[in-house]
Amino acid sequence: MSQLITGNSVGPGMGVDGGGILDGESKEEHPSKFQSENDRAPPETWGDWERERLKPPGTTLLRPMAWSAFFLAATPLPLVFPGNTPDDAIISSVLFAVAWSLVLLSLLSVGSLSRHPSQSHAYDIFPLDMPSLLIAVALFLAHVFVNPVLGWASYATFWYSWVKLTKSLTDSTYPSNGRWAKEIDPLQFNHIGLVDGWAFTTGHFKTGIIGVGPPVAPQSRLVIEGVRANNVAHIAISILHRSGFRHDPFQHRVDVRDIDLLLEKPPLIFRTDGPTSRD
């Protein structure tokens, strides 16, 4: 879900959110929907680009993550207080499965586990912590085949992995989700070039990631996306975090030292029959 702010202009006393209509409401009527204290103004070269606010993933993740903690905490209770269920082992397993199903389904719902250019390797499942999960699974198998006491070590390690996941989600949802978009004619996509350090990953316009820029942090890189809003094609620039969340590059919560230098001008070059223009 997104909110596309139109009519942005960079000029004296206006900043990037001057004017605009959002869901039929003017900025003067509801200014909080158009800007926040976290917003930073981009350089004037971004004057005809629009800030698009994306739905914060934290609002989608909060409830299922809270319930997952509840079911994970309840997992050992049938074993600690045996004889109160038809089958203590099965009930405990069901509680555990529900806990982690809530985790996985919530991450899938926000696109966090999909493949994208900011992942560090082919088996990267961030924000899940692969090392602790593998250790927890190994301890669980050892408790089945070696010593039942190791089951408690496995359970504690699963909790450790859950806490690390929660910390990673907290860090990755702290910056505002958003991107900067510019309307284009998709039929003219092949006439768009990029500056050095950027590259398209497709030869035609489509929705989704269509190009990549330079890395801006160990877990983030700039990306180009194809976006359609109200049947109008846009090309958008954002910082793609390793979690899969898109961060607005012009905000105070993004701690990237060279972001203003990297985005001093939009990276697109519009080729025409006349002189080449960069926008």
H-helix or E-strand containing 105? Answer: helix 88-109
129-181 confidence digits (pLDDT tens): 889 999 999 999 998 888 888 999 999 999 999 999 999 999 999 999 999 99
What digits encode the pLDDT tens for the residues 90-113? 999 999 999 999 999 999 988 888
Arithmetic mean of pLDDT, 205-210: 92
Q: Do the Cβ atoms of 49 and 181 come closer than 8 Å?
A: yes
pLDDT at residue 278, rounded to an integer: 56
Reported confidence tier of residue 115, pLDDT bands at 50, 70, 90 = confident
Share of the chain above pLDDT 90, in %: 52
Cα torsion 96, 102, 107, 111: sign: positive
The residue extents of the domains of the chain are 2-56+176-278, 57-130+157-173
Ranges 16-25, 153-162, 264-273: which has the least confidence:
16-25
pTM here? 0.78
Does position 122 have pLDDT exceeding 90, yes or no? no
At residue 21, the pLDDT reads: 34
pLDDT score of 59 more than 60: yes
pLDDT at 2: 52
DSSP state of 236: E
